[in-house]
Chains A and B, each alone.
Chain A
């Protein structure tokens, strides 16, 4: 289920507890670096830096149609050939990775802020406030995202900017993270050092910001990466079925165009295979980074 990338937060528990077999990595200054995290970060750095730096050297705006001859094969001038719209597939792909990453990071920032505020305050304040907030959170989790996005996509089709898509994903994507943050806040509420802070005269905001936030920041980082994954995936899913802003190059829209121009049957393998390879690599990088961090934090806490 691609769209349920939110489940990654659950799956993270998996590698984290599996870390017990290699306690050696917890030692020394390199406590953070385990093989999984290292591979993930290398993939992300190459793809991230590459997609942000390379477009500077792009000979023309890759999203403009009919810049080149159509359906050119792979060559020195066009590393991945050109597509049936007269665009250079390589540059389109580079820009797609960049746009998808930007959208993912933007959504993840929004979701993390909302989820942290909602989750922490609900878990920490408790009582009637918590029950009301959790009811809303549960509802947002229950509402299936994809059908909602399809309705919105159908209603505002053509009039959206690329960032509206991101905003909508934030509105319907914060609930899962809020739930995780809240459960952490719940367990923290009973800890000694929180009581200590309270008795020393810290008010609610102080406790939340100074005591709880540093403690949950590791989890928030992991949640952040998972949300990037989730957002890229959701936008791409919408694009593949033609309901996002398909003129903007993203990992989904490139596949949308390739599919709608039957790239397969016209033998343009690079048009369809290249974005698939790029997406899988990017997702593998994000996933390994997120589980790698989890594993590292788990061994730091001595949990595993």
Chain B
């Protein structure tokens, strides 16, 4: 089977996954007993102290249904939804920040989320793999079990607990970082960049700590397994140094599964993003989603969830396509 067929097959799967994902998000609110249009009209009415005439309400309903694409039967709605989301990337205006476009809001927030999460995920990956490699290579030494213990201790701690503890420790008991960070908007100047980096350090530390534990554990397991391979023994008998064996022999071969893990965690960062941004009030997609969820701003929620499905599916696709290039043992199949 050629490379082309492999790529085509994988790409087909990608499209299918996206399609099903979008369909589920389309159907989700339609299975629920609550109608967003009713909810929104109710909100407006309570704001107007119930002084709206029935005619005004009916007119508003028609407007809202147009806006939401709720006209016609469910199939027409579905086609309109797919066209809007896939072709135009249009989720309509936000309710809370009317008339701001949801797509604009998301594109403004995206660099923040990506900047913080990509950096933190990569740092966590590098650190975790280094510690895991040392712990795995010297797995018979006592010091290695201490390193592994760090991983065991960190890994099962729920993320929000970690975040709250870090906040408690480094912003309250030892006030090294600000408790409520400020992120200046507008033109970038050097002091501003410094301030943003300083204010992002605390959420970044939490993300690194959270990702770190898992990487230690998985890298350690891989390194232990690789250390016992015959070619490592052969290299030892040949007289190579510990350092050479650890980096050139063990690390290289244990690295491959870790690359897959990195891709998966890159996809998963949206989950982490949500909590980090909510707990540390960091101005990214997560914070937008939280505000939208509490305010019933469905358009924003739909935009954000579509984006996260897209991101996770794409991360999976990219790694599947790159992986055979990294590992010569894997054939395109």
Contacts and interface: CB of A to CB of B under 8 A. Distances in A.
Interface in A1-35: 1-5, 7-8, 10-11, 13-18, 20-21
A49 interface: no
A287 interface: yes
B312 A144 contact: yes
A135 B293 contact: no
Interface stretch (B59-67, B160-168, B235-243): B160-168
Interface in B131-146: 139-140
A109 interface: no
A21 B140 CA distance: 8
A18 B224 contact: yes
Contact of A241 (B153, B269, B275): B275
Given A1-B265, A147-B305, A237 B160 contact: yes
B311 to A, nearest CB: 8
B296 A15 contact: no
Interface string B200-222: 00000000001100100110110
Interface in A150-205: 150-156, 159
B122 interface: no
A242 B294 contact: yes
B283 to A, nearest CB: 16
A138 interface: yes
B292 A139 contact: no
Given A145-B271, A241-B278, A10 B211 contact: no
A272 interface: yes
B136 to A, nearest CB: 8
Contacts of B25: 143, 148, 151
B286 to A, nearest CB: 9
Given A150-B274, A153-B293, A156-B32, A143 B156 contact: no
Contacts of B140: 21
A139 B270 contact: no
Contacts of A114: none
Nearest to B220: A14
Given A146-B274, A150-B289, A237-B275, A14 B34 contact: no
Chain B, interface residues (CB within 8 Å), range: 35 or more
Contacts of A136: 20
Nearest to A251: B158
A179 to B, nearest CB: 12
Chain A, interface residues (CB within 8 Å), range: 35 or more
A39 to B, nearest CB: 11
Contacts of A147: 270-271, 274, 289, 301, 304-305, 308
A10 B304 CA distance: 28
Given A136-B20, A154-B296, A287-B152, A3 B159 contact: yes
Contacts of A3: 159, 268, 271-272, 275
Interface stretch (A78-86, A210-218, A278-286): A278-286
B289 A144 contact: no
Interface in A231-280: 233, 236-237, 240-243, 252, 255, 259, 264, 272, 276, 279-280
A229 interface: yes
B323 to A, nearest CB: 16
A255 B160 contact: yes
A280 B270 contact: no
A4 B268 contact: yes
B52 to A, nearest CB: 24
A75 interface: no
Nearest to A288: B152
Contact of B158 (A151, A154, A283): A283
B21 interface: yes
A138 B270 contact: no
A10 B265 CA distance: 13
A103 B28 CA distance: 23
A1 B21 contact: no
Contact of B168 (A229, A241, A272): A272
A228 to B, nearest CB: 12
Given A17-B221, A150-B301, A264 B271 contact: no
B112 to A, nearest CB: 17
B255 interface: no
Contacts of A240: 160, 275, 279
Q: Tell which of B36, B139, B294 has the most Cβ of chain A within 10 Å.
A: B294
Nearest to B279: A240
B158 A155 contact: no
B24 interface: yes
A15 B149 CA distance: 11
B74 interface: no
B301 A154 contact: yes
Q: Tell which of A147, A156, A229, A243 has the most Cβ of chain B within 10 Å.
A: A147
B250 to A, nearest CB: 14
B221 A4 contact: no
Interface string B275-318: 10011000000000110111010100110110011001100100
Contacts of B168: 264, 272
Q: Which 6 A-B pairs have the closest CB atoms?
A: A2-B159, A14-B221, A287-B156, A154-B293, A139-B20, A2-B158
